[in-house]
Amino acid sequence: MLRLILVLLWILVVFVIIGVPYLLVLLIVGLFSPALKDRLTQRFIVLVCGGITFLSGEKIEVSGVENIPADRPVLFISNHRSFYDIFSAYRYFKTNTACLAKIEWRRIPVLSWWMMMLHCIFLDRKNSRAGLKCIIKAAEELRNGRSIWICPEGTRSHSDELLPFHEGSFRAAFQSGAPILPFTMTHTDDLFEKHMPWVKAARVRIHFEPPIEVKDLSRTEQKEIITQVRDLIQQRYNELV
């Protein structure tokens, strides 16, 4: 109970009471320096995520952070276990990174505002044409120097076996030529989902793999990469649990 109260208070004070006025400041900064606005937005979200995981009692073991480029965008590809995935992993990204999120998140006040500040892309999974536009938008963001994070399973999975990967999740990398950086998370659902509504301490492990270059691959090679990335994340998951 105490952890839940502390997390909710942190979100209320930092994310809403302080965050909303700060959001207005960032909008003004963006009129003069979009790059500075992006950096300040990233740092604020890292602060919020760090506070949530600390108050939740997350004990995290992270490896492979040196594989994350600080000077070029990548398409982050990971498994998806929990709402806490974003809080646990986002603070380790070294450049402005947007997420591909389901369109329902766009209806949540304050949260959706910050997601838009991060240039997150909202996906309507019931509309295939809208899905194609999202991939085109993600490829454009990658070409403009912004990393993208996609979970190709499409939904949260609490099984030790990964769900099938949606091939469309990889197209932004193939279209833009940006490398794919797979990473694996374990036990993030132990913090909240497995015993909602309570927040409990848990040990989380994350491993970032080296980037995989995909520029100029043939169609056959692209399909092979998709299979290889899923197999790599599954293998790493089995090692980390």
CATH of the domain at 172: 3.40.1130.10
Residue-level pLDDT at 85: 96
Q: Looking at the 3D structure of the chain, how many domains does it have?
A: 1
Residue-level pLDDT at 130: 72
Q: Is the pLDDT of residue 128 over 80?
A: no
Residues of the domain holding 71 = 60-240
In a domain, 166, yes or no: yes
Mean pLDDT of the chain: 93
The band of 192, judged by pLDDT with boundaries at 50, 70 and 90, is: very high
Could you give the percent of the chain with pLDDT greater than 90?
78
The band of 162, judged by pLDDT with boundaries at 50, 70 and 90, is: very high
In a domain, 135, yes or no: yes
Residue-level pLDDT at 19: 94
Residue-level pLDDT at 216: 86
Residue-level pLDDT at 49: 96
For residue 168 the two structure tokens come to 């469309």
Q: Is the CB of residue 185 less than 8 Å from the CB of residue 81?
A: yes
For residue 32 the two structure tokens come to 């003069």
In a domain, 29, yes or no: no
Q: Which letter, b or e, does each residue of 37-68 get, where b requires 16 or more Cβ atoms within 10 Å of its Cβ?
A: bbebbbebbeebbebbbebbbbebebebeeeb
In a domain, 43, yes or no: no
Residue-level pLDDT at 158: 86
For residue 35 the two structure tokens come to 């790059």
In a domain, 147, yes or no: yes
Residue-level pLDDT at 157: 86
The band of 64, judged by pLDDT with boundaries at 50, 70 and 90, is: very high
In a domain, 157, yes or no: yes
Residue-level pLDDT at 129: 76
Q: Is the pLDDT of residue 40 over 80?
A: yes
In a domain, 66, yes or no: yes
In a domain, 160, yes or no: yes
